[in-house]
Amino acid sequence: MRKILLLLLAGSFMLSCNNDKKEETKSSTDDYQSEKTEKVVTDNQPTNTNIDPVVNLVEKILGSFVGPFGNNKITMLITKAEGDSIAGRTIVGGNNRPFTGTFSKVGSAYVINATEPGDDKDDGAFSFTIDEANTDVVTGSWKPNNKAKPAKEYSLKRRAFEYNPNVGNYPQSSQRLLKAKDVENEMKEDLEFMRNEIFARHGFCFERKHLRQQFENEDWYVPNTVDIKGFLTDIEKKNIALIKRYEKYADEYGDEYGR
């Protein structure tokens, strides 16, 4: 009788363990299925559902545009376009001037009206359009605050400034340290051009008219700044100092120089 009772108790214990094991296995399987289902749902969720195609289109008018502006070359940078407000700056004739204004959509074109601060004698107002079918072109006019000066019309093409040490007539002055033999037989005017060509490669906007005219005829030249500090390389700084010494020598000795 005692033996039969022990057998019954052992069977009951094993049945209970098996049930617990099945419940545990079922629970683990359910957790895995739940995690798997959750991951699938997450992976299938759409991304960036709130993207506004109008905002993306407006962003396309941002950038740098370059072209003729009267007798000079101008770079117009549109840096901000939010709501109906626009902001940027222009670099022309040795001046770096900010502008602010508004824009609106008229048909397929963005119409922009913007003004410069008005605290410079050469400030004025810009009116230009950018067609959504070709956001690489800006066309418009500029009216000076000073009525005695002429208005200007312009058509600018998208073009970003990029420093390139390999362009120009004297690229070696940005590539390596110059030696005396590189400059000692050059005329003063050529030395001045060589030195300023270093600045031009960095997009320096010249105030002096004859230098502007020299470099604005170069396809590679894009006016980008009126402050060259911080952009020149160590090689360029040393070459500028060397060229200036020989410019002074050429000025002092006149016709005898280089002969």
Over the stretch 156-200, which tens digit does the pLDDT of each residue have?
999 999 999 999 999 999 999 999 999 998 999 999 999 999 999
pLDDT mean over 147-152: 95
Would the pLDDT of 252 be above 90?
Answer: no
Tokens read off for 187:
């005329």
CA atoms of 227 and 233, how far apart (whole Å): 14
Query: For the domain bounded by 53-158, which CATH number is listed?
Result: 2.40.128
CA atoms of 4 and 22, how far apart (whole Å): 27
- DSSP code at position 225: B
Would the pLDDT of 208 be above 90?
Answer: yes
* Residue 113 bridge partners (DSSP): 102, 127
Tokens read off for 4:
């039969």
CA atoms of 156 and 166, how far apart (whole Å): 25
Would the pLDDT of 20 be above 80?
Answer: no
Question: How would residue 250 be classed by pLDDT, with cut points 50, 70 and 90?
Answer: confident
CA atoms of 92 and 225, how far apart (whole Å): 9
Would the pLDDT of 6 be above 50?
Answer: no
- Architecture of the domain spanning 172-256: Up-down Bundle (1.20)
Domain boundaries defined on the chain: 53-158, 172-256
Half-sphere exposure of 127 (CA within 13 A, CB side): 6
Tokens read off for 57:
């289109």
Over the stretch 210-242, which tens digit does the pLDDT of each residue have?
999 999 999 999 999 999 989 999 999 999 999
Contacts of 182 (CB under 8 A, 6+ apart): 172
Q: What is the value of pTM for the model shown?
A: 0.73
Over the stretch 51-79, which tens digit does the pLDDT of each residue have?
444 445 578 899 999 999 999 999 999 99
Contact (CB, 8 A) for 226 and 95: yes
Over the stretch 28-53, which tens digit does the pLDDT of each residue have?
334 433 333 333 333 334 444 444 44
